[in-house]
């Protein structure tokens, strides 16, 4: 009934790269934000894994802070999406050109 830490690391990195692929490949900003949430969760899984491996609850605290920051990030990201949609009537990240550099 033991699971090596490496398995958790592999699982976490697979989820993280799925999130990276979502951010890079999708054009819908909502799905991009959800992919960012996936990446946050992959990082949290690693924090909890190593907290468990070294029986030290600093990882739990940090995962808690990450959850809070992720909530703030989601709220601000969605507010930006809503604001862009209000002015552009379109939220496709390839079509929105108002902030082009």
Partner 1 sequence: MIGFWILSVFLIASAIWCVSARKPVYSVVALLLNFAALAITYVGLNAEFLAVMQIIVYSGAILVLFVFVIALLSSGVAPFAAGPNRLPKAIAPAIFIVLIAFGFLYYALRDSSVTLNVLKGQSQLGPVGTAGVFGSVADFGKALFTVYLLPFEVTALILMVAVIGVVLLAGDQTPYVPTQKHARQVEREMREAILKGGER
The answer to whether residue 6 forms part of the interface with partner 1 (CB under 8 A) is yes
Q: Is 97 in the site for partner 1 (CB under 8 A)?
A: no
Please report whether residue 41 would count as binding partner 1 according to CB under 8 A.
Answer: yes
- C-alpha 79/C-alpha 81 separation (Å) is 5
43 binds partner 1 (CB under 8 A): no
The three-state secondary structure class of 94 is coil
Report the sign of the C-alpha dihedral through residues 67, 72, 75, 76, in that order.
negative
55 contributes a contact to partner 1 by CB under 8 A: yes
Q: Does the footprint of partner 1 cover residue 38 (CB under 8 A)? A: yes
The DSSP output letter for 57 is T
Contact between 98 and partner 1 (CB under 8 A)? no
Considering the rule CB under 8 A, would residue 46 count as an interface residue with partner 1? no
Using CA atoms, how far apart are residues 60 and 56, in angstroms rounded to an integer?
8
| Residue number with CB closer to partner 1 (63 or 98) | 63
- Please tell me the count of residues contacting partner 1 according to CB under 8 A: 71
DSSP type of residue 55: T
d(CA 82, CA 101): 21
| 94/101 with CB nearer partner 1 | 94
């Amino acid at each position: 009934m033991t699971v090596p830490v490496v398995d958790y690391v592999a699982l976490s990195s697979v989820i993280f790269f799925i999130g990276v692929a979502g951010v890079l490949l999708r054009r819908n900003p909502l799905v991009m934000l959800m992919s960012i949430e996936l990446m946050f969760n992959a990082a949290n899984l690693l924090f909890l894994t190593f907290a468990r491996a070294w029986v030290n609850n600093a990882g739990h605290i940090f995962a808690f802070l990450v959850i809070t920051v992720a909530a703030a990030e989601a709220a601000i990201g969605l507010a930006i999406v809503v604001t862009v949609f209000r002015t552009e009537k379109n939220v496709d990240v390839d079509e929105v050109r108002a902030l082009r550099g």
